[in-house]
Structure 1
Amino acid sequence: MASTDHARTVFMAGLKNAHAMEKQALSIMQPQVNRLTHYPELSRRLEAHIAETETQIDRLDQVLTSVGESSSAMKDLFLSSFGSMAALGHITAGDEVLKNSFANLAFENYEIAAYASLISAARICGENAAVPLLEQSLEEERRMAEWVEQSIPGVTETFISLKGSGEKAKI
């Protein structure tokens, strides 16, 4: 099999994986937004990123259609379910908002790596029309990762302040 054939195989699998990854991201963020009470800036940014993520899914659908493929319903369902369970895992923690922030930063960096790989595979197999769409999603993920990283000190300060005043601080 030629190098471009291998790249195409990797690209197709990567597109389906990225689609499922973005479905998983929604299943992680949506429960967080629904539970946030003391962190309005975090809530607003997560809501904005949910909208970005929905657009990223649309872009991935567009790329999949352009190459004659479709998303994997099985992968989408599995990773979405896994994301929901992961989001539930922090609910019992006394510092839920902090644990969610750490997990969000890790997940954003995972998405960055996935899009960087997809862009490389697209170029190798000649699917250059997909590159601008993937680069747009990559840039959104980079901005979100940067925002999450920069917000952690403020979220931590608010958490400590609320905890010290006897308020419910975890969300």
Structure 2
Amino acid sequence: MKNETGTTPKFKMKTSVHSEPALNELFFDGIRDLYWAENHLLKTLPKMIKAASSAALSKAIENHLKETEGHVARLETIFDIMGKEPIAKKCNAMEGLAKEGEEIIESTEAGTATRDVGIILASQKVEHYEIASYGGLLQLAATLGLTEVATLLEQTLEEEKAADLILTEVAEEGVNYQASEES
């Protein structure tokens, strides 16, 4: 079965939309959590851009900031599809990951590749959290028969994976080596 983008989804759809209320609530709780997380990133990513000295790293984070705006919009679309108000639930994991990123910035010297490596590491931790969250919710949406929601989650999941790969490329293409050469 092909979706509207012409690709075959990588998940199995349940045909019935009737499901256990507790499972639906768990799903919505995850969506609310991601909504808070993505909105928090909209405030955090500009700080990372400002702290980065590598042009490639700054550009990668700037691009992901624009994508993150789209992620928030997709989540709002999901709330709309489900007939729910877009209400965020504080994401303790994202709050902790963002704080860790801020601590890296505070503990490293401005303008160094070492700081850039730290920003990459902190950013990849965020991406991996998001990949796990979107991946799990995608499968749950499929189980619940929420085809349109699953498609939106899959789009964001693919963008999160791509962002992680770009960060790896920035590290591999020089930032890590430059940091190893700093005294």
TM-score with structure 1 length normalisation? 0.81
Q: 1:118 aligns with which of 137, 152, 164?
A: 137
Maintained 8 Å contact 2:130/2:160: yes
What's the % identity of the aligned pairs?
Answer: 24
The within-5 A match list for 1:58-97 is: 58-73=73-88, 75=90, 85-94=99-108, 95-97=114-116
* One-letter amino acid matched to 1:65: D
Shift of 1:57: 0.4
Q: CA RMSD in A?
A: 2.3
The within-5 A match list for 1:9-20 is: 9-20=25-36
Q: Which string of whole-angstrom CA distances, capped at 9 and with x for unpartnered residues, describes residues 70-118 of structure 1?
A: 2334527x77765654432122223322221111111111101101111
Q: Which deviates more from structure 2 when the two are superposed, residues 110-119 or residues 146-155?
A: 146-155
Maintained 8 Å contact 1:27/1:83: no
Assess, with a 3 A threshold, how the Cα gap between structure 1 residues 22 and 157 changes in structure 2: closer, same or farther: same
Shift of 1:10: 1.6
TM-score with structure 2 length normalisation? 0.76
Unaligned runs of 5+ in 2: 1-17, 109-113
For 1:100, the equivalent position in structure 2 comes to 119
In structure 2, how many angstroms separate the alpha carbons of the residues matched to 1:28 and 1:84? 7
Q: 1:50 aligns with which of 48, 65, 73?
A: 65
Assess, with a 3 A threshold, how the Cα gap between structure 1 residues 52 and 83 changes in structure 2: closer, same or farther: same
In structure 2, how many angstroms separate the alpha carbons of the residues matched to 1:84 and 1:107? 8
Unaligned runs of 5+ in 1: 165-171
**Which has a greater percent of helix?**
1
